[in-house]
Structure 1
Amino acid sequence: MRILITGGSGQLGREWVGYLNRKEVEFISLPSADLDITDHDDTNRVLSNLRPDLIINCAAYTKVDQAEAEPEKAHQVNGEAVRNLADYCANKNIKLVHFSTDYVFPGTEEDMQELPHGYTEDHPTNPVNAYGESKLAGEKAIRESGCDFLLIRVSWLCGKYGSNFVKTMLKLAEDRDELKVVNDQFGCPSFTKNVVENSWELIDQKETGIFHLTSTGKITWYDFASEIFKQAGVRINLEPVDSSEFPTKAKRPAFSLLSTEKITNISGVSLIEWEEGLKLMLAELKV
């Protein structure tokens, strides 16, 4: 089986490259610079030459606030480009693995009260910002294509590669004695190593459809930051604050917890508690 990884230079793509190298599986990893999946003709040309048996799409527009100013660009990458991949997969009868986000849900406080274990895979979507809308457009494109797909939603993605909340907190702590972190947004992190390992298990078992894949637990960003500094042995004054103290261009959901009940019923899948996921990530960062 020949696997193609798109967006191979990103946070998740690089994790896939490392994992598949250890599995000794035949794969090709293409950064966005080498494959413009927003270009329909170029996509078909490159894919026809490479002839993959499976496509793992890690390419994404992830600038949540910037998407408010350039929604068309976000839709190009997260929506139309995904349609190009999905249509190719449908025509060639091959599987598409795609990663989406908790931001496709509205994240209201009412939902937080009604869904103590988080949003299920079949819960109605209704994003509150341009980024979420663009990711939802990609989901719809996949379903409409008729291709064989595995759509995996993650949240608060963190890993040893690229930029993420864990790295940002550690960096800020290098030259600050105190930090304010929001304490009214609830969710749970997904750690790239665990995401890739469990996604591979789903692929290996030929699972299809939508799955939520995060670590276990329910926390705020303040809880997350507190544990980061605790495990890293960093002494810093941390103050919990409301989101109103950090106005952003894009509205953030107050609640973005994803239910993992469905995926835990799959044999071979092993989710980790978020504290353990953080511990493993810090070890990889040698913190």
Structure 2
Amino acid sequence: MKLLLLGATGQLGKEWQSFLAQNETDDIELLSYTSSQLDITHYREVSDELRKQKPDVVVNCAAYTDVDGAEKHRKQAQKINVEAVLYLAELSQQLEFKLVHYSTDYVFPGSQLDKQECPRGYPEDHPADPINWYGKTKWEGEQAIRNTTANHLIIRVSWLCGQFGSNFVKTMLKLAEERDSLQVVDDQWGSPTFTEEVVKKSLALLKKDTKGTYHLCSKGLINWYEFAQTIFTLSEIDITLEAVDSSVFATEAERPSFSKLNTQKLADELGSEPVDWKEGLTSLLKQLDVK
């Protein structure tokens, strides 16, 4: 399998490269491109390279992921998350490669009513209704793929964190070095998705030649305060934590109060349950060499 990876410097792109380097994957030939090497918004360059390389699979880890920044830079977010994705989908149709694309829990509205009606999380076919521009562009990118090529795999993730790049776990550990106390919101509910699990499950789906949309996150439902509390407990870090409402922190983009993803479809497809969030966190802290 010839696999071409876009967005190689992001936390998910780096995880793909690290995982394939550390595991026996002789059946996979990996070609990785950073955004400076191959910018997905430079259509002619992307087209020329894909026609030259003739990949079996293109894994798109490139995205505009700054949720607050997207509110200010709407055209840029639209260009990367929608227009460039549509072009990749068109190339998938023309060149007959499978397009693997990552999306987000933010395509859903995340209301308290949804929390009551979907206690196990949003299923894949739940109506999308994003409440911020980032979520809107990611939803439109998904639709661009579905409407253009059948040979795709869309994987929605939530609260993404791993050993590379910026994420909540690494931010909490860094802040704990600088401060004696922290305020963390307790009115936003979901479940983390660990990048190593994303790569493992993506590969498993690819090997089965699976198509369609799947949800991937950890088992369990928590809020950010509980997540932070457990990070510090497992890391044996003594810090004062205060649970606060989201209103304490002014942000450009509105956040959903509930964004749990239902992973039953993925579990049925692969015959394995998702990792428990505490188990995934413990593994990540070991990777980060934290107690």
Mark yes or no: TM-score above 0.5.
yes
Aligned residues: 287
> Following TM superposition, by how much is the alpha carbon of 1:269 offset from its aligned partner in structure 2, in angstroms?
4.0
Q: Verify the 8 A CA contact 1:188 1:218 in the aligned structure 2.
A: yes
Question: Which residue number corresponds to residue 188 of structure 2?
Answer: 185
Q: 2: CA distance between counterparts of 1:140 and 1:133?
A: 11
Q: 1: CA distance between counterparts of 2:158 and 2:240?
A: 26
Normalising by the residue count of structure 2, what TM-score does the alignment of the two structures yield? 0.97
Task: Encode CA deviations 1:158-185: one digit per residue, 9 max, x unaligned.
Answer: 0000000000000000021110000000
Matches within 5 A, 1:1-287: 1-21=1-21, 22=23, 23-24=25-26, 25-287=28-290
Aligned-pair identity in percent equals: 50
Amino acid at match of 2:164: Y
Amino acid at match of 1:87: E
Task: Encode CA deviations 1:185-207: one digit per residue, 9 max, x unaligned.
Answer: 00000000011101110111111
Query: In structure 2, the residue corresponding to 1:145 is in which secondary structure?
Result: coil
Q: 2: CA distance between counterparts of 1:251 and 1:158?
A: 21
Amino acid at match of 1:168: T
Q: Verify the 8 A CA contact 1:198 1:270 in the aligned structure 2.
A: no
> Following TM superposition, by how much is the alpha carbon of 1:84 offset from its aligned partner in structure 2, in angstroms?
1.1
> Following TM superposition, by how much is the alpha carbon of 1:42 offset from its aligned partner in structure 2, in angstroms?
1.9
Normalising by the residue count of structure 1, what TM-score does the alignment of the two structures yield? 0.98
Amino acid at match of 1:244: S
Query: In structure 1, the residue corresponding to 2:177 is in which secondary structure?
Result: coil
- Please report the RMSD computed on the Cα atoms of aligned residues, expressed in angstroms: 0.9
Q: Structure 1 residues 36, 121: CA separation in 2 closer, same or farther (over 3 Å shift)?
A: same
Q: Verify the 8 A CA contact 1:86 1:147 in the aligned structure 2.
A: no
> Following TM superposition, by how much is the alpha carbon of 1:271 offset from its aligned partner in structure 2, in angstroms?
1.6
Query: In structure 1, the residue corresponding to 2:269 is in which secondary structure?
Result: coil
Q: 2: CA distance between counterparts of 1:217 and 1:69?
A: 33
Q: 2: CA distance between counterparts of 1:269 and 1:65?
A: 35
Q: 1: CA distance between counterparts of 2:29 and 2:107?
A: 33
Q: 1: CA distance between counterparts of 2:242 and 2:135?
A: 29
Task: Encode CA deviations 1:238-284: one digit per residue, 9 max, x unaligned.
Answer: 00000000110000000000001111112354521000000000000
